[in-house]
Structure 1
Amino acid sequence: MPLQRVHFAEDVPAVFRTSLQAIRNELEVPAEFPPEVVAAAIKAASNPRLPELDRTDLEFVTIDPPDSMDLDQAVHIERTGDGYTVYYAIADVAAFVQPGDPIDVEARKRGETLYAPDKRIPLHPPELSEGAASLLPDKVRPALLWTIKVDGSGEGTDVVVQRALVMSRAKLSYAGVQKDLDAGIAQESLQLLREVGKLREQRELERGGVNLPIPDQEIVASNGEWNLEFRAPLPVEGWNAQISLLTGMAAAHLMMYGEIGILRTLPESHDDLRRKLENTAKALGIAWPVGTPYAAFIHGLDPKVPAHAAMLAACTVLFRGAGYTAFSGGVPERPEHAAMKSEYAHVTAPLRRLVDRWTGEICLALCADVEVPKWVRESMDEIPKIMEECDRKANAYERAIVSMVEAGLVKDHVGSTFDGVITDVDDRDPARGVVALSTLAIEGPVKGTQALPLGQPVRVRLTDADITRRTVAFELA
């Protein structure tokens, strides 16, 4: 599920720091790495298993937020006839981590990297995730090198993945790349990233797929109050994401053909979810014409518009219920990821997500026409359970942080009234439900003295806002 990232423009205030630590304690989020895991990481960092194939000739670059050091992916694109060749290097975690070693055991407990405004809880020790395994510039690194042929329409036509040595030439930021592209001075590979990214976005729209451009939420202090601002993703962030999605779909096709793998799957959303989102759109003053499908509606949103940014954040519920499906000796009955309208697998973030180490090894074996490693086959059924439990914790972590921030935004306005729209009503008690405020990107429980008017504008009074308990509550005014 896409993450809602919350940032503070300045240092995180003490009251929020206390609440954030309380959230980690409640959810039993792991703290520091045990000494034996750190020791194993230091040893592994100095002795990786290196491949024979050397592709340090390819001029890879990484594109990430400026403060990122856990660099999973590096990209290089060339024009090939009427189409393109996409080279995508993915950090080779298995070159450092052995099945059953302390790093592997700890990673299976963590599952994925967790993010909060005050700190990041990594999947692997920084000695690997931000050091020896990260695709840092001017460092020769072992990687899983994906070579994907793309035709002139943006459709992938051929794929192979193999282990190789690579070297990134530069650690680029999204803002810097966007600036160079807009100025017409970006290197050819980045110009081709724009071309391929746009083609892939069009393909996505045609098949009815959804890839949410989730805006970052930034908390800004002004005149003693906190305000929520949205930072819209830059176009290059979407184009870069399309390369990751292209690779994930190619991986899924490899696994389906080889009848072994782990897919990321999502069932079709139900009518109640659409009704709730339509009501949220109404609360935010956004038209959703009758009969317009999710994909067309979402593709029409502009994350630079605050109301649209809030709507995109609300649409993350479309991805809830996503899971992992392991299979061998056949193909799953329902392999599709409903939001993407395609089969899909996670393979591009092994430094930050456990399952990617397994899917990467499966695709390597299928491309080399060799047997999938025994350790992968023996633990395949375990990984979906681990990942789904970790996803639940990550989602709970995210929701708790968002709830904490929402309470902080309105904590000084208890007793004040706000305009909103009833987005949901409790089936068991129709006098209780959920209201979305029209002026703030906040939803909260609301109660009345009679059945709430679902989908209708209302005036509500804030009755509770507590940062420590991370609660807000309203009543009909």
Structure 2
Amino acid sequence: MPSNLVVRVRASSPEIQEGLAAIAAELELPGEFPAEVTAAAERAAADVVLPDLDRTDIPFLTIDPEGSMDLDQALHIERSGADGYVVHYAIADVAAFVTPGDPVDLEANKRGETLYGAGTRIPLHPPELSEGAASLLPDQVRPALLWTITLDAEGTPTDVRVERARVRSMARWSYVDAQKALDARSAGEPTKGTEVLELLREVGRLREKQEVARGGVSLPLPEQEVDETDGGFRLVFRQQLPVELWNAQISLLTGMSAASLMVEAKVGMLRTLPPADPRDVARLRRVAKGLRIDWPEDMDYPAFIRSLDPSVSQHQAMVVACTRLLRGSGYAAFDGELPEQTRHSAIAAEYAHVTAPLRRLGDRYVGEVCLAICAGTPVPDWVSAALPGLPKTLQDSARRAGAYERAVLDLIEAAILADRVGETFDGVVTSVHENDGRSGVVMLAEVGVEAPVTSAQALPLGEDVRVTLATADIAARKVAFTLP
């Protein structure tokens, strides 16, 4: 389930660049990799041992954003019998390059995850691995964790296994090109090499139906791009393409399959999320009102998300606002006894992070647990030793990633509104602080911004208001409105 916002900043303004540098310093974000880490990565890349199992006969393909080099997953789908499917999903085998306690491993445990924001990327692993020897780049034989998941005609898993194998990706697609190829095929144009993409569409749609049936929901998070125009700034949302959502369904399928293996074996680590707090859902209803989006009282949250139109900017802003319901997500490690909370409420199933080990630390450990379960062997000692403390490490890195994301968005909102101080805007009060009732948050449909607001009188929660922009300070990353 996508949960990370992607913000791309296309602005050379000194104020923006200084603001980004200040964020990096305040949050003590990782910089360049130490020399010993880079050297260890180079040695690992040169000395890797490929698995005995050779599945280079499977014509895998990758689908990623244009220009991506850290390719975690490669995909192949084929029909099984008359109406079923077999999904082959190859995941980069980071453990083939990283030894527990070596410099790369120690540095990865400090970083926790790749950080994204402002068009830059702070990687979890050195590029020598994440964009080179461990990445599932085309026409390269790579070590991988090969998931084989059999589905019936409705897209329900009937069998799952994972094993180490050498694989080779034969085609590299960007999301845009993959969608164009599928659209051309649907229009009757002859398009070569799209057979797996067409099966991805079939299986993706079946899995989306399964998601609806179990009460799950995926947030189609748009990318947010900031452009500098005529001395000002403009925020533009880029909606996700259908092929991105179908591709995400394969990742979800694999994560749910991994969780099922671990729950049955009573060892591993799950990604969890408690049910949404009704107060948070009520606030989101007020945000929808502020964005002028109808949310019928008898429509639940998953149905509302599915009703949104990704091509409408207000709806895209609503999807971003809905990420607040993911803030209670966490990790639960266990060995011998299941944790009290096992489900991920948004996915409406048990789920684990396992498909992005180049970018998330925990996926490497979960992958090793699932390999051991399928092989009928003990979980490696280095994994068992790390499991108890791993959730805290991952939560700490997630908090830093969230702080980075929020700081970048605050900077962008201040830049967008910097030349509009004194103007008035229509909005809706989405929350009121309990301490005095005269401060809270207002949602402004015109600019898609939710920001602090103060008033000399009690703020009318959930009501339409007309507020004045009092502050838009880029250096302080602060935006504030007043209600006369």
Same fold (TM over 0.5): yes
* Deviation of 1:13 (Å): 2.7
Q: What is the distance in 1 between the residues matched to 2:177 and 2:310?
A: 19
Given that residues 49 and 96 in structure 2 are in contact (C-alpha distance below 8 angstroms), is that contact kept between their aligned partners in structure 1?
yes
For residues 269 and 12 of structure 1, do their structure 2 counterparts lie closer, same or farther at Cα, with a shift above 3 Å needed?
farther
Structure 2 counterpart of 1:131: 132
Structure 2 counterpart of 1:159: 160
- Which of 247, 251, 254 lines up with 2:258 in the alignment? 251
What does the per-residue CA deviation read over 1:403-442, in whole Å, with 9 as the maximum and x for residues that have no partner? 1000000000111111100000001111110001120111
Q: What is the distance in 1 between the residues matched to 2:423 and 2:326?
A: 34
Structure 1, gaps ≥5 residues long:
none
Structure 2 counterpart of 1:18: 18
Given that residues 12 and 117 in structure 1 are in contact (C-alpha distance below 8 angstroms), is that contact kept between their aligned partners in structure 2?
no
Q: Does 1:68 align with 2:68?
A: yes
* Deviation of 1:118 (Å): 4.2
Given that residues 17 and 118 in structure 1 are in contact (C-alpha distance below 8 angstroms), is that contact kept between their aligned partners in structure 2?
no
Given that residues 62 and 73 in structure 1 are in contact (C-alpha distance below 8 angstroms), is that contact kept between their aligned partners in structure 2?
yes
SS in structure 2 at match of 1:380: helix
Between 60-69 and 221-230, the greater mean CA deviation after superposition: 221-230
Structure 1 counterpart of 2:188: none
Q: What is the distance in 2 between the residues matched to 1:162 and 1:92?
A: 11
Matches within 5 A, 1:221-300: 221-300=228-307
Matches within 5 A, 1:98-137: 98-137=99-138
Aligned pair count reads 476
Q: Does 1:147 align with 2:154?
A: no
Structure 2 counterpart of 1:94: 95
Q: What is the distance in 2 between the residues matched to 1:255 and 1:248?
A: 11
Given that residues 11 and 227 in structure 2 are in contact (C-alpha distance below 8 angstroms), is that contact kept between their aligned partners in structure 1?
no
* Deviation of 1:108 (Å): 0.2
* Deviation of 1:11 (Å): 4.5
Structure 2 counterpart of 1:403: 410
* Deviation of 1:160 (Å): 0.3
Which amino acid letter does the alignment assign opposite residue 217 of structure 2? Answer: V
* Deviation of 1:16 (Å): 1.2
* Deviation of 1:476 (Å): 0.6
Structure 2 counterpart of 1:39: 39
Given that residues 205 and 299 in structure 1 are in contact (C-alpha distance below 8 angstroms), is that contact kept between their aligned partners in structure 2?
no
Q: What is the distance in 1 between the residues matched to 2:111 and 2:195?
A: 39
* Deviation of 1:14 (Å): 2.5
Q: What is the distance in 2 between the residues matched to 1:116 and 1:21?
A: 12
Matches within 5 A, 1:232-381: 232-381=239-388
Matches within 5 A, 1:377-456: 377-456=384-463
Q: What is the distance in 1 between the residues matched to 2:421 and 2:454?
A: 15
Given that residues 220 and 228 in structure 1 are in contact (C-alpha distance below 8 angstroms), is that contact kept between their aligned partners in structure 2?
yes
Q: What is the distance in 1 between the residues matched to 2:109 and 2:275?
A: 29
What does the per-residue CA deviation read over 1:367-411, in whole Å, with 9 as the maximum and x for residues that have no partner? 000000000001101110100000000000000000100000000
Tell me the TM-score normalised to structure 1 length: 0.98
* Deviation of 1:54 (Å): 0.3
Q: What is the distance in 2 between the residues matched to 1:160 and 1:49?
A: 22
Given that residues 251 and 344 in structure 1 are in contact (C-alpha distance below 8 angstroms), is that contact kept between their aligned partners in structure 2?
yes
For residues 11 and 220 of structure 1, do their structure 2 counterparts lie closer, same or farther at Cα, with a shift above 3 Å needed?
closer
* Deviation of 1:67 (Å): 1.5
Given that residues 78 and 86 in structure 2 are in contact (C-alpha distance below 8 angstroms), is that contact kept between their aligned partners in structure 1?
yes
SS in structure 2 at match of 1:98: coil
Given that residues 424 and 435 in structure 1 are in contact (C-alpha distance below 8 angstroms), is that contact kept between their aligned partners in structure 2?
yes
What does the per-residue CA deviation read over 1:322-353, in whole Å, with 9 as the maximum and x for residues that have no partner? 00000011222220001111000000000000
SS in structure 2 at match of 1:144: strand
Q: What is the distance in 1 between the residues matched to 2:18 and 2:367?
A: 39
* Deviation of 1:297 (Å): 0.4
Question: Cα RMSD over matched residues?
Answer: 1.0
For residues 12 and 88 of structure 1, do their structure 2 counterparts lie closer, same or farther at Cα, with a shift above 3 Å needed?
farther
SS in structure 1 at match of 2:47: coil
Q: What is the distance in 2 between the residues matched to 1:18 and 1:325?
A: 39
SS in structure 2 at match of 1:458: strand
Given that residues 73 and 88 in structure 1 are in contact (C-alpha distance below 8 angstroms), is that contact kept between their aligned partners in structure 2?
yes
* Deviation of 1:25 (Å): 0.8
SS in structure 1 at match of 2:377: coil
For residues 188 and 98 of structure 1, do their structure 2 counterparts lie closer, same or farther at Cα, with a shift above 3 Å needed?
same
Given that residues 12 and 118 in structure 1 are in contact (C-alpha distance below 8 angstroms), is that contact kept between their aligned partners in structure 2?
no
SS in structure 1 at match of 2:142: strand
The sequence identity of aligned pairs, in percent, is 57
Which amino acid letter does the alignment assign opposite residue 256 of structure 2? Answer: M
* Deviation of 1:306 (Å): 0.6
Between 354-363 and 448-457, the greater mean CA deviation after superposition: 448-457
Q: What is the distance in 2 between the residues matched to 1:193 and 1:143?
A: 21
Given that residues 7 and 119 in structure 2 are in contact (C-alpha distance below 8 angstroms), is that contact kept between their aligned partners in structure 1?
no
